[in-house]
Structure 1
């Protein structure tokens, strides 16, 4: 069997980026938590608001794919690399659920997803180069912030939008589990100023993606 080279790795990353950003969403392996939950009729403002929130969540999953890919590419050990790749595969379910819900709401993903993917991959690679424990710490900090904003979405989705609410609730549960996994494997606590910068950057992204 031919030994994989550095070029093979980069080609794999490019292929993954194109599939996540430009291709049809991955099918995932788990059915949508929305299941057979009936949809409701929204007025235009409610529909646009629900779509804006789900577009934020979809872009968050695009960024998660990129972060994990960058961290896996720069991981120091095969164990951490495998964990990052497994986490990315689990996040594919979230990506598929959000894409499906956006379509149901008559909307689309963010037009800026290629930009968000590139930036997140770079951040993930930088975290990986800092060392595996710092990389895991970055996973924990990121997932805690994502869990918090998903819980906020549960409170701000339009009344009666139980399909979106079921998806977001399951995503929040999964993100908390990923954060706990990082801690169990030796994550170092990311300094508070870095976490504050992460939160500020995420806030800017959410404000833009809600509309674009």
Structure 2
């Protein structure tokens, strides 16, 4: 049951997420790497890619929060909570890297959060199997997206690359965990719709 107290807690959390006030529970893998010399073009490109990744983590927070809120299955709630904590690490790491690159988070962060929360709620209302299937498909697309960023980042930008690689490892694990809990495969049209929405988000967030 959704109470006023729950609404206040979720609203406060949403404000902290979209304003970039995330806190990591694990050390930032980028801190283990040396600073690299990046020219203006390389720095701008790295920042654009990391801003896209930060937006992806805003969406992940919203998705896991809403899906956890609308499922009654304790094992699924616990898995969503665990995955959400690791996704918050990603959120904090990408925000840190953007600051190091003298850049900023997306100006459309509230919009990304609201849209993702609505998608998560719809998926959860379709039942646990569909909700878990939504996670599996999301994480599969995110893993492919992160793999492409490892190809696009400047080779010498070891800090950004270390963050993205750990994110990729975690996303694969999150998808596998959701699959093990009984995910169903989403219809192909839904998969294509998700890819289309992701394309709009990544293209826009790179710049804005």
Same fold by TM (over 0.5)?
yes
Counterpart selection for 1:105 from 95, 101, 105: 101
Q: Structure 2-normalised TM-score? A: 0.96
Q: Is the 8 A contact 2:30 2:159 kept in 1?
A: yes
CA distance in 2, matches of 1:124, 1:10: 16
Partner of 2:64: 68
Partner of 1:10: 7
Q: Which runs of 5+ in 1 are unaligned?
A: none
Q: Taking structure 1 as reference, are residues 5 and 151 closer, same or farther at Cα in structure 2, changes over 3 Å only?
A: closer
CA distance in 1, matches of 2:187, 2:197: 16
TM-superposed deviation, 1:10: 1.7
Q: Structure 1-normalised TM-score? A: 0.95
CA distance in 1, matches of 2:122, 2:115: 11
Q: Is the 8 A contact 2:136 2:183 kept in 1?
A: yes
TM-superposed deviation, 1:86: 2.1
TM-superposed deviation, 1:78: 2.8
Residue-by-residue CA offset, 1:164-184 (whole Å, 9 max, x unaligned): 001000000000000000111
Alignment: residue pair count = 208
Q: Which runs of 5+ in 2 are unaligned?
A: none
SS of aligned partner of 1:9: helix
Residue-by-residue CA offset, 1:106-154 (whole Å, 9 max, x unaligned): 0000000000000000000111111111111000000010000000000
Aligned CA RMSD, in angstroms, stands at 1.2
CA distance in 1, matches of 2:74, 2:45: 42
In the alignment, structure 1 residue 37 sits paired with structure 2 residue 62: no
TM-superposed deviation, 1:5: 5.7
